[in-house]
């Protein structure tokens, strides 16, 4: 169990020592919860830190349950099995997607302002979140990142479900995670303090 996200970031950074001082490394965080984790990773590796905004597409009426995710470069990943199982219409999907695209644009502006997106071509991108349950958001982020032509993508998280690991590990150059659990339950279950990361903290850590 981790004390909080900063503690998790320090422990995750130890697993990433092979990437320290690499001139071609960029650390990207999935906001908001991934930013305090990624801050500690970037600090330990002496690498630049930025955000990669991804939004979960939640099931109508059950927003915590992901039926997909959206990411930059018009990337959309849908979970067909959940959509079929719950009989969700295309119209319902489009409504949620439209709402989340607006929130994605708002967060991009809030966190990055007018700062240009980092050059990722041929770089090793270390993609960080505070944990992975279903893998929908991380899957969308990985697919979107490939459109920037990085040299390698390393998925790095403090804790992940075994299902998420099985889904994502074939898509990346490396999957670094100290805790891969079959008895996963929820990301917050592995933190003593899992209080929400606010926009202000994200901006401070990026600065």
pLDDT in tens, 176-199: 999 999 999 899 999 999 999 999
For a pLDDT cut of 70, what percent of the chain falls above it?
A: 100
Is residue 153 within 8 Å of residue 71, measured between CB atoms? no
What's the pLDDT tens digit per position in 66-100? 899 999 888 999 989 899 999 999 999 999 999 99
CA–CA separation, 142 and 127 (whole Å):
8
**In the prediction, which pLDDT does 64 show?**
78
The CATH number that applies at residue 60 is: 3.30.1310
Q: How many CB atoms lie within 10 A of CB 27?
A: 30
CA–CA separation, 63 and 114 (whole Å):
30
What's the pLDDT tens digit per position in 24-70? 999 999 999 999 999 999 999 999 999 999 998 999 988 878 899 99
**Same-domain pairing of 11 and 36:** yes
**In the prediction, which pLDDT does 97 show?**
94
Give residues with Cβ within 8 angstroms of 113, minimum separation 6. Answer: none
Sign of the torsion angle spanned by Cα atoms 29, 35, 40, 42: positive
Please give the sequence-ordered ranges of beta strands (E in DSSP) within 91-136, or none if there are none. Answer: 124-128
Angle at 126 (CA atoms; ends 102, 79), nearest 5 degrees: 50
**Same-domain pairing of 42 and 144:** yes
Q: Residue 207: pLDDT above 80?
A: yes
**Same-domain pairing of 22 and 86:** no
Choose among 51, 54, 24, 23: nearest CA to 120.
Answer: 24
Mean pLDDT of the chain: 94
Q: How many CA atoms lie within 13 A of 12 on its CB side?
A: 37
CA–CA separation, 173 and 53 (whole Å):
21
Sign of the torsion angle spanned by Cα atoms 27, 30, 32, 37: negative
Sign of the torsion angle spanned by Cα atoms 62, 170, 155, 28: negative
The CATH number that applies at residue 10 is: 3.40.50.2020
Containing structural domain, residue 28: 5-54+120-206
CA–CA separation, 107 and 104 (whole Å):
5
Choose among 167, 154, 92, 108: nearest CA to 128.
Answer: 154
Q: Residue 114: pLDDT above 90?
A: no
**Same-domain pairing of 84 and 134:** no
**In the prediction, which pLDDT does 62 show?**
87
What's the pLDDT tens digit per position in 152-173? 999 999 999 999 999 999 999 9
Q: Are strands 124-128 and 25-29 parallel, antiparallel or unpaired?
A: parallel
Q: What is the pTM of this model?
A: 0.91
**In the prediction, which pLDDT does 74 show?**
87
**Same-domain pairing of 154 and 100:** no
What's the pLDDT tens digit per position in 133-157? 989 899 999 999 999 999 999 999 9
Number of domains in the chain: 2
């Amino acid at each position: 169990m981790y004390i909080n996200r900063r503690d998790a970031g320090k422990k995750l950074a130890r697993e990433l020592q092979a990437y320290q001082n690499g001139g071609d490394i960029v650390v990207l965080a999935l906001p908001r919860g991934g930013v305090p984790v990624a801050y500690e990773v970037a600090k330990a590796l002496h690498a630049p830190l930025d955000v990669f905004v991804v939004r979960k597409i939640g099931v109508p009426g059950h927003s915590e349950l992901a039926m997909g995710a959206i990411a930059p470069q018009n990337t959309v990943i849908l979970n067909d099995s959940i959509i079929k199982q719950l009989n969700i219409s295309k119209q319902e999907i489009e409504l949620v997607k439209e709402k989340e695209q607006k929130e994605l644009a708002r967060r991009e502006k809030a966190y990055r302002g007018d700062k240009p997106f980092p050059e990722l071509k041929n770089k090793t991108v270390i993609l960080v979140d505070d944990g992975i349950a279903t893998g929908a958001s991380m899957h969308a982020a990985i697919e979107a990142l490939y459109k920037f032509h990085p040299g390698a993508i390393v998925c790095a998280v403090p804790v992940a479900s075994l299902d998420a690991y099985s889904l994502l590990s074939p898509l990346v150059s490396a999957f670094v995670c100290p805790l891969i659990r079959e008895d996963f339950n929820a990301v917050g279950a592995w933190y003593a303090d899992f209080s929400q990361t606010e926009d202000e903290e994200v901006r401070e850590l990026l600065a």
